[in-house]
Structure 1
Amino acid sequence: MTAAARLAALDSLPADELCRMAESALSALVDVMNQETTLLRAGHMRQANALTPEKTRLAQDYVGFARSIQRQSLRLSTEAPGAIERLRLGHESLATQMAENLRVLATARMVTEDLLTDVAKIVGQQNKAKTYGRGGAITTDSATSARGIAINRAL
């Protein structure tokens, strides 16, 4: 089936059915994003990462339905106004969940960067020469601090 045929098939669905399918995809997307956010908060990065393919598929499905609904907005607003209102509320729920998800992702990234910076500093301190300078104090030479750190991303 061509893309144009799929779009035509979506656009020709009865109003209630199209809205029900969009609501279902939206609800599933909000649910998987909530699961991901919960896992990220708990520090279970691998488990959260495992949800990515499902989240991507659900997002693609929802975007396809949303675009069809936009194309058919006049027809749907007269044939299924209640369903359109439920979708609007569901979309607000998605926006809230996405904002929370992005906030948790930003926090996880910041924590990771802080940890890596701290590790690099500690490794650099271990490599510093411990000699006395002219004033009788141990000198600190920033040139001898850690210049980099290797990370195994396969974990």
Structure 2
Amino acid sequence: MTAAARLAALDALPAEDLCNHAETALAALVDVMNQETTLLRAGHMREAGRLTPDKTRLAQDYVTLARAVQRQNQRLAAEAPAALERLRAGHESLATQMAENLRVLATAKTVTEDVLTDVARLVGQQDRAKTYGTGGQVAADPAAAARGLTVNRAL
């Protein structure tokens, strides 16, 4: 089935069915984002990362359905106003969950960067020579502090 045929099939769904499909996709997306947020708060980064494919798929499904709802908004408002209102309320909960999820992701990224920076600094200190230079002080090479470690900032 082509993309145009899939879009036409969505647009042809009865109003209640289209809203229900969108509401189901929305609830699943909010649920997986909540799971990810909970895992990140608990420091379970790998487990949270395993949710990414599901979150991506659910987000794509929801966006496709949300666009169909937008295209059919007038028809849905006339034929299924209560279902459309439930969907709007659900969309607001998605926005709230997304904001919380992004906040927790930003915190996890900052904590990870801080830990890696501290480790790099400590590793560099251990590798430092423990001899005195010509000025009577231990020579320090700040450029060697992070030798051998890199930080991937693309979390």
Q: TM-score scaled to structure 1, two decimals?
A: 0.90
Cα separation, 2, equivalents of 1:18 and 1:2: 19
* 2:88 alignment partner AA: R
Q: Does 2:58 match 1:58?
A: yes
Cα separation, 1, equivalents of 2:26 and 2:64: 11
Shift of residue 144, structure 1, vs aligned partner = 3.6
- Can you give the 5+ residue segments of structure 2 that lack an aligned partner in the other structure? none
- Once the two structures are superposed, what CA deviation does each residue of 1:97-150 show, in whole Å capped at 9, x if it has no partner? 111111111111111111110011001101112233566443433244232316
Whether the 8 Å contact between 1:32 and 1:55 is mirrored in structure 2 is yes
Q: How many correspondences in the alignment?
A: 151
* 1:43 alignment partner AA: G
* 1:106 alignment partner AA: A
Q: Which residue of 2 aligns with 1:128?
A: 128
Change (3 A) 1:143 1:48: closer
Cα separation, 2, equivalents of 1:86 and 1:32: 20
Cα separation, 2, equivalents of 1:143 and 1:84: 60
Shift of residue 96, structure 1, vs aligned partner = 0.7
Cα separation, 1, equivalents of 2:42 and 2:14: 42
Q: Does 2:88 match 1:91?
A: no
Q: Which residue of 1 aligns with 2:75?
A: 75
Q: Does 2:38 match 1:38?
A: yes
- Once the two structures are superposed, what CA deviation does each residue of 1:42-76 show, in whole Å capped at 9, x if it has no partner? 11111111111111111111111100000001111
Q: Which residue of 2 aligns with 1:100?
A: 100
Cα separation, 1, equivalents of 2:104 and 2:146: 29
Q: Sequence identity, in percent?
A: 74
- Once the two structures are superposed, what CA deviation does each residue of 1:14-55 show, in whole Å capped at 9, x if it has no partner? 100100110000001000100010011111111111111111
Q: Which residue of 2 aligns with 1:22?
A: 22
Q: Does 2:49 match 1:49?
A: yes
SS at match of 1:92: helix
Q: Which residue of 1 aligns with 2:116?
A: 116
